[in-house]
Amino acid sequence: MNIFPIFQTILYTISTALLYPVVIMLILLSLWLVLYSGGFIAEGLKRRQFRKDRHLANFLEDIHTAKQLPAQLRANLPLHVSNYAREVSDIIDNVQLFQEERLEDLNQRQEYDLIKEVDKIRLIVRIGPSLGLMGTLIPMGTGLAGLTQGDMAQLSSSLILAFTTTVVGLALGITAHFFSVIKERWVTEDMRHINLITEALVADEIPEEK
């Protein structure tokens, strides 16, 4: 008894069943990326204006004196940077043991959160083209099966779906790659700001070890 046709039928059924989830995922990722693009562009314009008008290093003395970010900085810096500065101020105000360790932990957690945001975009760089390839190969199998039966309409429909999913998947990958590159630069910039703010806030607060 030849069981290979049975395995072939099972694999074909599984492959065909994956077509709808693949198409739905491509649509959802496209919608998410469109929404993300709006916030990304707005943040990019805000950052560009901040770099053009002022530099954080010019406000270090003000930050050290007030033990918090000046209002004009809070209005222009990203929200997570402002929240980080507030948490550092809270740790300094609440004098307790292991203050330096708490600050280091906060700094590392903030860095981890920033990297995690970049990783979300990096996932789409890989997932988008992979889903596009799956969306290409699955309909091709269905189309070839229709061709053996002389169903040219099914073949034509399958080819259209295969090519469109390829285009969408590649577009997702290219767009997400562009966003990830810019986002990495923003993370580097934010970490530099975070470290500067930390140094300005904790100066003379934590005694150096002898």
Are 36 and 183 within 8 A, CB to CB? no
Tokens of 48: 């560009």
Length of the chain: 210
Q: What is the DSSP letter of 14?
A: H
What pLDDT score was predicted for residue 115? 92
Min mean pLDDT across 12-16, 85-89, 180-184, 189-193 is at: 12-16
* Tens-place pLDDT, residues 5-24: 787 788 878 888 888 999 99
Contact criterion met (CB below 8 Å) for 139 and 161: yes
Residue among 47, 117, 112 at smallest CA distance from 84 = 112
Give the pLDDT score at 165.
93
Question: Tokens 């099914």 — which residue?
Answer: 154
Average pLDDT over residues 75-97: 84
Has residue 157 got a pLDDT over 90?
Answer: no
Residue 210: pLDDT over 70: no
Is the separation of the CB atoms in 136 and 165 below 8 Å? yes
Decide if pLDDT at 54 tops 60: yes
The total of other beta-carbon atoms located within 10 Å of residue 73's CB is 20
Scanning the structure block, which residue is given the tokens 């004098």? 95
Average pLDDT over residues 142-151: 70
- CA dist., res. 114 & res. 187, Å (int): 6
- Provide the whole-model pTM: 0.79
In the numeric block, which tokens belong to residue 157?
């429909």
pLDDT for residue 25? 95
**pLDDT value at residue 1:** 60
Give the torsion sign (CA, 9, 15, 20, 21).
positive
Tokens at 30, concatenated: 């496209």
Whether the per-residue pLDDT at 206 is higher than 80: the answer is: no
- The pLDDT score that the predictor gives to residue 53 is 61
For the chain, give the longest Cα–Cα distance.
86
pLDDT averaged over every residue in the chain: 85
